[in-house]
Structure 1
């Protein structure tokens, strides 16, 4: 039985039983707790949590939900049980049937003959598990379904109790297993061997509410839910495995064609070697997951969902190469998996070209990275082994990742295959530094999309000599020119070009300090340098525009740093050291730098700290910083060994591997002593005043201080002084009395606003009597549906509606109000308790009204509201609302 037929039978079975067929939701939902939809019940969470009423006539639904789980991505292929993408078929009851209904529905579908719409499984091979003390479920299975007691096993909370992992709905569950026979393991049921006994369906009896707790079973049950719900999940792939009589899910009709395509492309044979079989399975699994993610709008990226997709696609490419493939493979794999999945997901047909284009573009970019990265890894691995060690340094892994775009997961895989480990602590600290320094407004300038293998020759053989610590001008030779991602021999007027020199006084961006600006001169040619970046920590890339003339490979040039730019950058960078030292004095040694940005006149400093800073702490940090400026301390730099620097007490940030020789920057003796490769002023007084702008959160456990330095600080402080002077003149008060005067004015303003609000509410209350006169009777329900004067806000509508509903209490009544407030049309519907008892639901009436005014809304049975955009549809909407009320 083909998988698409299994899906159809499942849906038809429950539709015949009165369930609403609900299409699969996208893999990407607006749920901040989930990267992807990872369970069939996820789209129904609002109904289980009681946040919304289920919109299904019979209170039951069925769906086959697309799901992705990537926590165990490294296990894919190693066993035959892990898939990153799977289809979860489920049936759901929201306060309707409970245990007996769920058990009966599942059993009949599984065991009914194929000719009668079932799956035709042998009931003698089915086992079930129930929760330890769930006597009710056990009795239903034995007495009403007829499963022998010997094939009913009781398991604990770890196996047979479901919750969302947080306080909320929970309940015991019952799982159905299929005995695949002695060839797959030991006798004794699921409790003895869950490989032989394959789980195919989980029935969750959601009837309780859980409290706080850790783990799957360590939490209290705090009460019962108002309604008992059913949530079940049947694994489509697992049922297909059984009905197609294959060994595992990789051999079903959906995935085996991809394995066959891989065998044809690579020349390898599936089933001969374990390591090859793992690679075949990775290709099959990841091709399907990748295709479905692209289908739902995910594109390859370096973070979030995009990173998961990129990682999947790159694992496919590398697995295919290890099997013997040469050249591109993703188009074949994507075409094959789209063919197998289209019968179940027809929308693939309209997206084939886009899916293929995204996958192939990622493959072409990665193949270049893979070739150079593999060679570099092999060199590094050989070097490690030659010294008798078994661990690849974290900095080496980071260089592969950062400089050559080689993903760390591939480095880990290749290291394992070579019998090596990777120093992940070292890698993560280097990664933390890189992320902390990353600047969103500068990403495009950091070769994020460039093929950095282009620079390999220069990195290896012609590292740049930096002379900028001692000079701002210098002579150099052009070793390389890059334009449009290609090496060129010349650049002409108006062209953007990257210039590689043998030596340069220009500082390349690192340590948070932006690269220098300046000029490159040769003959009549003038190039404006607008950025300088590093490749592999060895090569300086001067990003320039040819303003006049032209430049050739091999040219002798004069390099000039913009002195004003460098001076401002040095001020900001040195100020960062002072702020770091001051911050540690105020907050203690746990406040450690987590990144910085220094540009002329401005700095931002990120540090690890859990609490926000008080105004007093910020003032103290500013005071200590400016005291250090006023002290006119000499800024000393010393080049020494790393061991010697540590003995001196120098701070090494981010746990970076600094190499044999390091540069220590010392300001005021013990006040500030750090390892740093940036440029700095000669004396602290040259920084000028430092003005702290404030501090803020930049993530969990991370804070940020921003400040001006030098003339930017002076201009900022002057502007603040002028503002204070203007306020003092306007308020006729000395500047030192401004806070008190402004506080007094604020209090007066608040009192006036409160008085105005009270008057406004009194006016609204006075109007309710007039509005009641417009009410009419529809049957035995009093109905007031009217438009108020324009300009009435949504909050005012709620106030009036609540007052009216209160005055109508004791009788069935519905109040529907709307108004035009600018471009919006707020509206609200309220119902008395007596009207709700008759079946009136304000939420339903709001949705009805919304349809006439291009709006949306929702709420509870007694009060619901929304907002629309078409005021002209109000009267028709009110008429429809009255007609609907007339049905009660």
Structure 2
């Protein structure tokens, strides 16, 4: 058996199946498309679902890939074992109605025993217990001894996931032990002990399971195989752990170097090293596919992995933002197969560093809150932190429960773990209830997805805005129909069309249709999952029928406005790269006839000066009246020409390259103008952040931009009229008015403070004693939080030892409460946070804080007096 590197094995596998007539496809993005039931791609076949169901036509009936995958189901075991990890690469070969068991089983054996030269005596096979066909091929065609083939049940060797394609499977296992496996029972034990290692799963998709659970035979069965690259590499390199595989070991070694620790010396340290090694692989690949840290969805998965790795780095002594440097090792060892890693290196490192910095801040915030909890527990002599508070630290501040336990252990305080687990379970139940049960494709197949595979509408919209064609299909009320009458709406599918369907961020065309017997409006144009063009229509007169001749006309003015915005978007991206840097790349876009929206990678707000520079560059290119050229070429030719592309998009053999002179060159299927001068003018109307590391610019062009300028001019004239001055003096006049307003506001604040302090003596006189602690309360009007705080502090000072002050104020429609207590009052049991929380509830609000000082808000000012009247009873229960 040859010792091969992980990258060598990947190439050997893909080349082997290319030689067997397979089309080699690059890995799909980790972000699923058209699959609502999947958060992140977790298997090699996951992106292929539409091909297996017939919803999309595959680029070839035979395909081979090495797919990036992330699974977090066993995240708690990552690091604790030698085989659990979140990121992995899945080698696969697929047949869509082409070859079946007779071919794939011998190929699998050939690759393992001849290409990789794995000793045949080390390999064992499992099949589904009723699959006599697979048994016959293994024993007769391959020549495997029947004693090395084990029949297992549905749980082990039958693949299914909800309704949809499914079937029996056959797995090939490598035996690390000595001697031979005698029977099924011994094999299962060896498998459980990780001595018999599953290498390759061959799934024979020969059934279609319906909603009633019935298995219907597929007329064209499929093949879906999966082999973990890291696992086969560990076998080839004679390693018992995937963390010792060549490319992964390089990451692990760098983790040790960064933290100045040695692997293999301490169990807990080794767990942290493995967690960091795995998680930095996952996060690097996830960010390269434009997943951004967030508090929901796949962004939350990324954030969780990054923060888990960061925390374990801190545990073993790593300093600063170390993960952003570790990802270089991942990129250097994998960019040969995944070019996006190298292209986005600076971006990936920046996103990781930002999240590490945020986590450090989060830790500081969490520790501050935890210290408040510790003070509260010390005041009440409690030695257990409640589960709900521990969960709040975890859920709100991302504060790991282990870290909470670690800090509290030094204070001889424990955590109510059972209570924490209850809160965690409640959250999981909420998440589970919020999820929908999905079918194989992630959602029920709609009527739109049942348009026949062989129907292909020819698109002429790049050159024509009007086409005479024939009606192929009509859809109304979720079913195929032969006709659609006056006043009805539906879907129109034709043999040809000039209508651009919504795609690549560009909205679909609208227009009209006319036949000899009918006319109506086309309100939108979209594609279904398999790329069939669907016209959304409203029949205004007559009746549409299948096979009718029909004339389709695109709204020319609207199309032109969309094209202006689309071309401007290309110019905007290039201008942003000039001003902000090469790290800028598209994260999303949308263009319609009114405006353009462009999302892009950048890590801080853009200054006014930078926005002006970007806008000026685009407008200069407009004034230069540059020709906008569109060429069709191969993908390789396009890349060699320097055309920009989106890494997570799949492109065909022929691609359209849109060039704005020498300024911009992008792969794009959208519609564009012929010359930049047609844009007229470009105006940025907003810039904002939409996610961590993602900014959004909205802009307008042409007559919409002209209208915006005219409206601004009208607004300026109205301001001049109101200020009774000319345009040049408007700013100085506003500045004078603002100074006057500030002076008046200052006077008002001073008067309110004087008025409040007039009540000081009255509040002190109203003081009562509760179990030996002095309590003063007061309801006021017009005091803001600062004035209220100052007054409470002054009253507390005058009352002296063993005193509590609780004040409420109604100001600008808001209710504000403040409570203050002396240290000796706190020792007696007074707790300002608990007091204001209960008081605020009466006014329909909430709040809290420290035992010695707390604030709260409310919604019902008419209940302030009632709320303050409750303080005495609250104090009775607190003060001992």
TM-score normalised by L of structure 1: 0.50
In the TM superposition, residue 825 of structure 1 has moved relative to its aligned partner by 4.8
Q: Secondary structure at the match of 1:654?
A: coil
Q: Post-superposition shift, 1:579? A: 1.5
Corresponding position: 1:593 with 2:586: yes
The corresponding residue for 1:609 is: 602
- 1:839 maps to 829
Distance 1:673 1:840, change over 3 A: closer
User: Secondary structure of 2:805's partner?
Assistant: strand
CA contact (8 A) 1:426 1:656 kept: no
Aligned residues: 510
Q: Deviation per CA, 1:437-456, whole angstroms, max 9, x where unpaired?
A: xxxxxxxxxx9966257545
* Deviation sequence 1:588-638 (CA, Å, 0-9, x none): 332222221111131011222223221111111111111111112222222
- Find the aligned partners of 2:772 and 2:225 in 1 and give their Cα distance: 85
How far apart in 2 are the matches of 1:661 and 1:637?
13
Counterpart in the other structure of 1:828 = 818
Q: Match for residue 681 of structure 1?
A: 673
Question: Alpha-carbon deviation of 1:808?
Answer: 1.7
Partner of 1:800: 791
Distance of 1:496 and 1:697 partners within structure 2? 39
Give the whole-Å Cα distance in 2 for the aligned partners of 1:756 and 1:870: 24
d(CA) in 2 for partners of 1:278 and 1:594? 41
Distance in 1 between the 2:82 and 2:442 partners?
46
Q: Does 1:698 align with 2:690?
A: yes
Please say if residues 819 and 835 of structure 2, whose CA atoms lie closer than 8 Å, have aligned partners that are also in contact: yes
Confirm or deny that 1:649 pairs with 2:655: no
**1:542 CA displacement:** 0.5
The equivalent of 2:542 in structure 1 is 549
> Against the structure 1 CA distance between its residues 493 and 844, is the aligned structure 2 distance closer, same or farther, given a 3 Å change threshold?
same
User: Residue by residue, what CA displacement relative to the aligned partner does 1:379-406 show, whole Å, maximum 9, x if unpaired?
Assistant: 999xxxxxxxxxxxx9xxx9xxxxxxxx
Which residue of the partner structure matches residue 572 of structure 2?
Answer: 579
**Contact 1:426–1:655 (CA under 8 A) maintained in structure 2:** no
Within the alignment, does 1:511 sit opposite 2:494 as a pair? no
Pick from 617, 625, 632 the counterpart of residue 639 of structure 1. Answer: 632
Note the alpha carbon deviations across 1:513-572, whole angstroms, 9 max, x for none.
111001122223222111101235642110112222221111111101111211111111
User: For the structure 1 residues 817 and 321, does the alpha-carbon distance in structure 2 shift closer, same or farther, using more than 3 Å as the test?
Assistant: farther
**In structure 1, distance between residues paired with 2:487 and 2:225:** 42
SS at match of 1:451: coil
Q: Does 1:628 align with 2:621?
A: yes
Distance across 2 between alignment mates of 1:603 and 1:373: 46
Q: Secondary structure at the match of 1:788?
A: strand
- CA drift at 1:498: 1.0
Are residue 558 (structure 1) and residue 551 (structure 2) matched? yes
Distance 2:562 2:82 in 1: 64
Compared CA separation, residues 770 and 279, structure 1 to 2 (3 A): farther
Give the distance between the partners of 2:707 and 2:803, measured in 1 at CA. 65
Q: Is the 8 A contact 2:492 2:535 kept in 1?
A: yes
* Corresponding residue of 2:755: 763
Match runs of 1:400-549 below 5 Å: 451=445, 455=449, 457-458=451-452, 460-536=453-529, 538-549=531-542
Specify whether residues 723 and 856 from structure 1 end up closer, same or farther in structure 2 by C-alpha distance, changes over 3 A only.
closer
1:719 aligns with 2:708: no
Q: Quick one: distance in 2 between partners of 1:686 and 1:367?
A: 59
- Within the alignment, does 1:782 sit opposite 2:770 as a pair? no
| Residue 625 to residue 544, structure 1, CA distance change in 2 (3 Å) | same
- The equivalent residue for 1:660 is 653
Quote the offset at 1:82 in angstroms: 7.5
Alignment gaps of 5+ in structure 2? 1-38, 40-68, 84-128, 130-149, 171-208, 227-284, 290-297, 299-336, 348-440
CA distance in 1, matches of 2:823, 2:697: 55
CA shift, 1:661, in A, is 1.6
Please give the alpha-carbon distance, in whole angstroms, between the structure 2 residues aligned to 1:850 and 1:666: 63
Supply the distance in 1 between the matched residues of 2:165 and 2:458 (Cα, whole angstroms).
40
Over the aligned positions, Cα root-mean-square deviation in angstroms equals 4.6
Kindly state the Cα deviation for residue 478 of structure 1 after the two structures are TM-superposed.
0.8
| Distance across 2 between alignment mates of 1:721 and 1:365 | 63
The structure whose RCO (Cα within 8 Å, separation 6+) is larger is 2
Tell me if the contact between 1:279 and 1:320 (Cα under 8 Å) persists in the aligned partners.
no
1:702–1:273 distance in 2 versus 1, CA, 3 Å: farther
- How far has the Cα of 1:660 moved from its partner? 1.9
Task: After TM superposition, list the pairs within 5 Å mapping 1:134-283 onto structure 2.
Answer: 276-278=154-156
The 1:868–1:747 alpha-carbon spacing in structure 2 relative to 1, beyond 3 Å, is closer
Q: Cα–Cα, structure 1 residues 522 and 366, in superposed 2: closer, same or farther, change >3 Å? A: farther
Q: Distance in 2 between matches of 1:371 and 1:467?
A: 41
- Contact in 1 for aligned 2:625/2:676 (Cα 8 Å): yes
Tell me, in whole angstroms, the C-alpha distance in 2 between the residues paired with 1:372 and 1:589.
Answer: 53
Does the aligned pair in 2 maintain the 1:602–1:708 contact within 8 Å?
yes
Unmatched 5+ stretches in structure 1: 1-34, 36-69, 84-157, 160-192, 196-262, 264-271, 283-313, 325-362, 382-393, 399-406, 408-422, 433-446
Partner-residue secondary structure (3-state), 2:759: helix
* CA shift for structure 1 position 858: 2.4
Give the Cα–Cα distance (whole angstroms) in 1 for the partners of residues 216 and 684 of structure 2.
48
- Rounded to whole Å, the distance in 1 between the matches of 2:732 and 2:862 is 51
Match of 1:402 in 2: none
Superposed CA deviations along residues 24-54 of structure 1, whole A, max 9, x for unmatched, are xxxxxxxxxxx9xxxxxxxxxxxxxxxxxxx
Q: Distance in 2 between matches of 1:486 and 1:813?
A: 76
Aligned-partner Cα distance in 2 for 1:859–1:699: 31
Q: Which whole-Å deviations, capped at 9, do the CAs of 1:362-419 have from their partners, x for residues lacking one? A: x988999x999997964999xxxxxxxxxxxx9xxx9xxxxxxxx9xxxxxxxxxxxx
| Contact 1:464/1:538 (<8 A) preserved | no
- 1:816-852 superposed Cα distances (whole Å, 9 cap, x missing partner): 2334557765433322223223222223333454565
Give, in angstroms, the shift of residue 501 of structure 1.
0.6
Cα distance in structure 1, aligned partners of 2:511 and 2:746: 59
Give distance in 2, aligned partners of 1:640 and 1:769: 87
